[in-house]
Amino acid sequence: MICYDSFINTVGEYACDCELRSDMLLRITPYQGDLITIGTEFGFIVVTQDTMIMTSKGLWKQAKDIHVGNSLKSYTMNYDVVTMVRSEHVDGELMINVVDSQYEYLIVDNFYIS
C-alpha cells in the first residue's frame, strides 16, 4: 500500500500511470499498523512495511528491509541514495491499495514499487 497523497493521476477509484501508460484500479483503505517513510536525496515515499521497492540493481526489497545508504531505482534520476528511514505506527491512516494493474510494478513518486 502507498500513502494516500502519493503522486498518481487519479479519477475516483481508477487511475492511469502516465509513465507506463497503463490503467489500474485503486481502493482507498484505512490502514492500522506500521508505515515506513523512506527519504532520499531527491524525494520520499510513505508505504507499508511489506511494500516491495526496487533497488538500483533491479532487485526487489521489502520496505522494512531498506536502510540508510541503500540506493533505490528512480524514474527521473536512475537511482537515489537513501538518507532517512522512519517507522511510525498509525491507526486509520488512509492508504491506497492497488487492486489491479497491467504491470507488476508502478512508478509512484519516482520510485518503482510492487
Q: Are 85 and 70 in contact (CB under 8 A)?
A: no
62-105 pLDDT, tens digit per residue, is 999 999 999 999 888 888 899 999 999 988 777 777 665 555 67
Q: How far apart are CA 20 and CA 84, in angstroms?
A: 28
Say what the pTM is.
0.75
Give the number of other CB atoms < 10 A from CB of residue 15: 19
For residue 12, CA distances in Å to 23, 26, 44 come to: 13, 8, 24
27-68 pLDDT, tens digit per residue, is 777 888 899 999 998 888 888 898 889 999 999 999 999 999
Q: Which of 93, 109, 105, 94 is nearest to 24 (CA)?
A: 105
